[in-house]
Amino acid sequence: MAIDRSLVAKMPLFAGLAPEQLDAILSEARSARYAKNAAIFEQGEEAHSFFVLLHGHVRASKTTPTGQQVVVRYVTPGEVFGVAMAIGLSTYPATATAVDDSVVLAWPSASWPRLVAQYPSLARSTLVTVGSRLQESHTRVIEMSTQQVERRVAHALLRLAGQAGRKVEQGVEIDFPISRQDIAEMTGTTLHTVSRTLSGWEQRGLIESGRQRILLCDPHKLFQLAEQAPGEA
Amino acid sequence: MAIDRSLVAKMPLFAGLAPEQLDAILSEARSARYAKNAAIFEQGEEAHSFFVLLHGHVRASKTTPTGQQVVVRYVTPGEVFGVAMAIGLSTYPATATAVDDSVVLAWPSASWPRLVAQYPSLARSTLVTVGSRLQESHTRVIEMSTQQVERRVAHALLRLAGQAGRKVEQGVEIDFPISRQDIAEMTGTTLHTVSRTLSGWEQRGLIESGRQRILLCDPHKLFQLAEQAPGEA
DNA sequence: CGGCGTTATTGCGCCAGCGCAAATTTCCAA
DNA sequence: TTGGAAATTTGCGCTGGCGCAATAACGCCG
């Protein structure tokens, strides 16, 4: 069963490849479907494959030795993930979980060296991808170093809305199930504090939320909140 | 003035290159010396060059719009830095400052696309480098999310000692000038808290410190401190 | 050798946000 | 429809560590 070229032609990873080259690469992939909450791979496991997300949403998270979890990022369709081999790791540094029913393409990690040798643009675009994740991670470090919780949560919501926001009548809704706990693990706080923060915003009409569901009603006000200096309340 | 191949032959960036290839690459580099506290490049500036550090130590830091600084990392000899172009940026995302008299090799960023096309192993090794920095950054996010200040500072010191530790009679000394403020900016705290923490350790004989100087007398105890669960005091 | 700027130390008060715990709501499966 | 698990909300008390401010030590340079 061949995979349709049009599904992936516009992905950054495959930029600069001729249609035949793309077909050749795709012919080596298998596609797989993961149900909501299914694990795609686990932290520490042998990195047998790398992936491109076609449909759905995937959470990448790390667990500390004491069992605490931290969400590294959410993967949106079109992104690569699990590229451990490319960055010199033989095991996955994080756990990938489908947060929604998801469809992926998968290649054996063992094919990576040959693929990059054959198609140098793969190395270039992967470098750009990893580089931008490094920037994001630095941004997160800076936020955690210099901002208090409310602003961090605001930033996190706006980022999620930008990556996976679905426009609806009353605003922008985050297009996959996400809990208070998840947001806490993204922002370095506790689900209690996130709950309190969101409750406050809901009362002020900035958001509307429910079980694993968040709708941004007033992204602009939220943005002001995220950017405002500590003094100006 | 040709640059001696032996200086750089063992660097990961140049792994897998033949001696002639190495010479060809080096022939395009210029070397430069920066005095202590000199800026090598500034955040936001056009990314004209990328660098390899030959000697000395360089601090990479980011400044927030409100003027707060965060230390991204310390560069040790043999490492590349300023590879903005390779990760798709046209300006430097951080400021690089020599913390000691330092010597670098520099290539024009404009040469990067040609160099990687010519020597694909450059892309591969840069990908590994950027990937490992991503891991480090994630580690830092996790530490800031889950550990309290004392453990974070302990981790930071141990990491610095590993990268730039100089064995002396009484222990391991960090081999470049570093202030309490610097450590605060690495760990997401304030210089006051760092000072108090280090004072405490000094009284317990774990370290010895002075102006911009830190000596680890008992790295093992420090390690226990860094790894111990919050409960076990 | 003395003055000055930088860096480090330390005391004190305060508060953002954590930890605990209990109640409540929502969803799902049987 | 009902039972139960998971997610969320909220109150309360406490504390780690920040902010401020004053002092002290260090090193450089004239």
Q: What is the pLDDT along chain A (233 residues), one digit of tens a residue?
A: 567 788 888 899 999 899 999 999 999 999 999 999 999 999 999 999 999 999 999 999 999 999 999 999 999 999 999 999 999 999 999 999 999 999 999 999 999 999 999 999 999 999 999 999 999 999 999 999 999 999 999 999 999 999 999 999 999 999 999 999 999 999 999 999 999 999 999 999 999 999 999 999 999 999 999 998 665 65
The percent of chain B in helix, strand and coil, each rounded to the nearest 5, is: 45, 25, 30
* Close Cβ partners of A163 (under 8 Å, ≥ 6 residues apart): A74, A76
d(CA A46, CA B162): 27
| Chain B residue closest in CA terms to A121 | B117
Residue A126 in contact with partner chain B when CB distance is under 8 A = yes
How many other C-beta atoms are found inside a 10 Å radius of the C-beta of residue B91? 14
Residue A230 to chain B, least CA–CA distance (Å): 10
Which residues of chain A lie closer than 8 angstroms to B92, CB-CB?
none
Q: Could you tell me if residue A161 is left (phi over 0), alpha (psi between -120 and 50 degrees) or otherwise beta?
A: alpha
* Nucleic strand D near CB of residue A197 (< 7 Å): no
Residue ranges of A 156-195 with Cβ closer than 8 A to chain B:
185, 188
For residue A133, the chain B residues in CB contact (below 8 A) are 134
B47: number of CA atoms within 13 Å, CB side? 22
DSSP secondary-structure letter at B91?
B
Distance from CA of B70 to the nearest CA of A (A): 6
pTM value? 0.95
Whether B52 contacts B104, CB under 8 Å: yes
